[in-house]
Amino acid sequence: MIDTWFVAIATFAYLGALFAVARFGDRRADAGRSVITSTVYALAIAVYCTSWTFYGSVGRATSGGMSFLTIYLGPTIMFLFATVILKMIRVSKRLRLTSIADFISARYGKSQLLAGLVTVIAVIGIVPYIALQLKAIAYSLKILFPDDPEALIPDALESLAFMPDSTAIIAIILAVFTILFGTRHLDVTERHEGMVLAVAFESLLKLAAFMAVGAYVVWGLNDGFGDLFARAATLPKINELLQPDAINFGNWFALTLLSGLAILLLPRQFQITVVENVDETHMRRAVWLFPLYLLLINIFVLPIALAGLIHFDGQPFEANPMLALLAFLGGLSAATGMVIVETIALATMVSNVLVMPILLRGRFDISNRTDLTGLIMLIRRSTIVFLLLLGYLYFRGAGEAYALVSIGLISFLAVAQFAPAMLGGLYWKDGNRLGAFAGLGLGFAVWLYTALLPSFAKSGWIDSGFILDGPWGISWLAAHRLLGMNSLDPISHTLFWSLLLNVGAYVI
């Protein structure tokens, strides 16, 4: 059993180290000596690997076998053919774009309305992903303290109505830390070299932690890979997961496509890969180092899953406290990196695209003020708090009924709606603003109806009849069986219909 105070000290020591690394990177950048090398850049892109990777991949492997690999095949393929990413970097630098909303709207006459729609979709779509990080940290605390999952809440706070559980504490800590971490100063380029260095550091930590756990499972609990897989093969239920006929190729294709789009379109990935790029030649190393990172962090996923099914199937198990703490810090690192970069990217979009245009041109006209720095920072900090609050509310409202992987895929489906407008804007000269707006609007509406609303229905917050039976009994409007299509799983179903209508409206 690990003492609560020791976990708390280790947690804040890690957060302090991360903050120190960021300060160092910022000071070097201010002095004109950038710390962003090609290796740092490639490691920072690994912010893609969140607590979903750290915990969710193992969970998916226990039920879906090798299907967890689809989440990493897409990004690997995309980076092996990185011409799209290079073009995005060059366009962004030439036009001085600072967010994915700017990027999409710039191709269509710098439409403020289109940029606003992209921002709204990004904010709503990423909320489940933020909830995922909160859920992962909260559940890892329950594992560390099974008899007292609220052990990290001080006694003085337990009675407060606004402090119902440890997840709320986690959300508050992450909000404060992100504000201190990423909104200390304003940069016209929206680059945060200290943040990039810190994210690269946390990428190393989560990789080391995951591989340490994997090595312990393979060689500490078993006699190597051969022994572990041989034991798994003797158990029929586990052996079924490893058979080739267990692969659903339609689902594999959908998830590979979805993850390939996500590595381009998630706001945090656009922020790191495009906005934070200081030298496009850094992509030369990223095209092989990032896929290598994905390979290394996934080597032990299946062995850990198999060992869990073998050893923990209703049997007591002697814990390794220090390894458990390392795993917790690795998962915390993965979640922290995601929340920091994602909320900073979204806060930039909200302030630049939604709030400031209203303040500058509306009845609140502030265009005559000489210094708007303080106001912009206030807007961004308030947005960060608001995003963490929404993430917490989603976790309480719907997230507890979903596995980690399922929550993450809901967000992947949302940002996939950017693909037609973005890729069409890059490669198709006949694409226009009306088509981009119509496509995004229809795709987003389908996502809301077939992915987001069902997540609340499955949690009991709204009636679930519309999912399989359709609203008012209209079967062809069933959220998971649109027009009678019942051959696809929910994720593939949403991807198919949302992109079909999105692309169709865009092209027409």
Segment 42-49 mean pLDDT: 95
DSSP 39: H
CA atoms lying within 13 Å on the CB side of residue 238: 19
Q: Under a CB-based contact definition with an 8 Å cutoff, are residues 296 and 43 in contact?
A: no
Give per-residue pLDDT as tens, 319-375.
678 888 888 889 888 998 899 999 999 999 999 899 888 877 766 666 566 667 788
Cβ neighbors of 206 (< 8 A, separation 6 or more) are 49, 53, 54, 297, 330, 331, 333, 334, 337
Segment 428-442 mean pLDDT: 95
Cβ neighbors of 465 (< 8 A, separation 6 or more) are 471
Q: Name the pLDDT band for 157 (thresholds 50, 70, 90).
A: very low
What pLDDT score was predicted for residue 155? 44
- How far apart CA 496 and CA 250 sit, in angstroms, is 11
Q: Name the pLDDT band for 268 (thresholds 50, 70, 90).
A: very high
What pLDDT score was predicted for residue 162? 45
What pLDDT score was predicted for residue 245? 58
Write the CA distances from 416 to 80, 139, 260, 341, 365, integer angstroms. 20, 28, 9, 19, 36
Structure tokens given for 25: 């990177």
What pLDDT score was predicted for residue 369? 67
Residue 384 reports pLDDT greater than 60: yes
**For every residue of 206-244, which 3-state class applies, written as one string?**
HHHHHHHHHHHHHHHCCCCHHHHHHHHHCCHHHHHHCCH
Percent of the chain with pLDDT over 70: 89
What pLDDT score was predicted for residue 42? 96
Residue 448 reports pLDDT greater than 60: yes
Residue 188 reports pLDDT greater than 60: no
Residue 13 reports pLDDT greater than 60: yes
- Dihedral, CA atoms, 224, 220, 49, 310, nearest 10 degrees? 70
Q: Name the pLDDT band for 160 (thresholds 50, 70, 90).
A: very low
Q: Name the pLDDT band for 286 (thresholds 50, 70, 90).
A: very high
Looking at per-residue confidence, does 11 or 85 come out higher? 85
Segment 71-92 mean pLDDT: 93
What pLDDT score was predicted for residue 280? 92
Residue 405 reports pLDDT greater than 70: no
Residue 154 reports pLDDT greater than 70: no
Residue 9 reports pLDDT greater than 50: yes
What pLDDT score was predicted for residue 158? 45
What pLDDT score was predicted for residue 190? 66
Looking at per-residue confidence, does 371 or 11 come out higher? 11
What pLDDT score was predicted for residue 87? 94
Residue 396 reports pLDDT greater than 90: no
- pTM over cut 0.85: yes
Task: Report the candidate in 408, 384, 491 with the shortest Cα–Cα distance to residue 132.
Answer: 408
| DSSP labels, 141-186 | HHHHSTT-TTTTS-HHHHT-TT--SHHHHHHHHHHHHHHHHH-SS-
Q: Name the pLDDT band for 163 (thresholds 50, 70, 90).
A: very low
- Across the chain, mean pLDDT equals 86
Segment 7-19 mean pLDDT: 87
**Angle at the Cα of 126 from the Cα atoms of 292 and 402, rounded to 5 degrees:** 85
Segment 61-70 mean pLDDT: 84
Q: Under a CB-based contact definition with an 8 Å cutoff, are residues 267 and 81 in contact?
A: no
Identity of residue 90: R
Residue showing tokens 């967890």: 68
Segment 27-39 mean pLDDT: 88
Segment 288-305 mean pLDDT: 94
Sign of CA dihedral 118, 77, 447, 463: negative
Residue 118 reports pLDDT greater than 90: yes
Percent of the chain with pLDDT over 90: 44
Give per-residue pLDDT as tens, 223-260.
888 888 888 888 777 777 777 656 677 888 999 999 99
What pLDDT score was predicted for residue 265? 95
